[in-house]
């Protein structure tokens, strides 16, 4: 039994249960993908996204609020992750010369090396996942996912 089969096995639904539940399939795939991804990479998706945002920051660095905005999560969650990254020597913090309450963050050499390693491993992981897929199918999935993201943004 697939993870979401229980959804169709409810009596009294106004359909026969044979319809495709696209959202449920995407959620199931996402959950499975995130689990395998985290295990293979040794990082959560949010940690990877944080590394990616910081790797794309200017030499000056980036503030916590800007990171939170780009990732779509609250600043407190980012602050906790940044603290762990600082303790691990992955992030350098520099105080703003004009406003002592602000600071700028950037990846250290160790953090950038980790990002580059993980970035390469992500590509290798993706290559393994799509080995048996046709190029046209991959393009269709990408197009449909972009369309769904657009529709989601309209309703957010």
69, part of any domain: yes
139, part of any domain: no
Q: Name the residue among 10, 81, 75 with its Cα closest to residue 52.
A: 81
pLDDT in tens, 35-87: 998 898 888 888 888 999 999 998 889 998 899 999 888 888 888 899 999 99
25, part of any domain: no
93, part of any domain: yes
> Which 8-state DSSP code applies to residue 135?
H
The domain spanning residue 66 has which CATH number?
A: 1.10.10.10
75, part of any domain: yes
Give the CA count within 13 Å in the CB-facing half-sphere of 75. Answer: 5
pLDDT in tens, 93-138: 998 888 878 889 999 999 999 999 999 999 999 999 999 999 999 9
56, part of any domain: yes
| CA–centroid distance for 3 within its chain | 22
Distance set, CA 53 to CA 6, 85, 105, 145 (Å):
38, 14, 11, 22
**pLDDT of res. 107:** 95
66, part of any domain: yes
Could you give the CA distance from residue 45 to residue 22 in angstroms, rounded to a whole number?
A: 22
* Number of structural domains the chain divides into: 1
Domain of residue 90: give its range: 43-123
Could you give the CA distance from residue 35 to residue 145 in angstroms, rounded to a whole number?
A: 20
101, part of any domain: yes
Distance set, CA 25 to CA 1, 69, 122, 145 (Å):
14, 28, 23, 12
């Amino acid at each position: 039994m697939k993870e979401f089969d229980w959804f169709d096995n409810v009596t009294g639904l106004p359909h026969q249960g044979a319809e495709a539940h696209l959202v449920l399939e995407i959620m199931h795939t996402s959950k499975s993908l995130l689990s395998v991804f985290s295990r293979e990479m040794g990082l959560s998706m949010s940690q990877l996204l944080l590394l990616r945002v910081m790797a794309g920051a200017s030499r000056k660095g980036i503030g916590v609020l800007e990171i939170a905005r780009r990732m779509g999560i609250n600043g407190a969650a980012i602050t906790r992750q940044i603290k762990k990254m600082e303790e691990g020597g992955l992030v350098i913090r520099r105080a703003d010369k004009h406003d002592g309450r602000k600071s700028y963050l950037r990846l250290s050499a160790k953090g950038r090396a980790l990002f580059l390693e993980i970035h390469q491993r992500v590509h290798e992981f993706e290559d393994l996942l799509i080995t048996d897929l046709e190029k046209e199918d991959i393009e269709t999935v990408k197009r449909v996912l972009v369309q769904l993201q657009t529709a989601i943004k309209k309703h957010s």
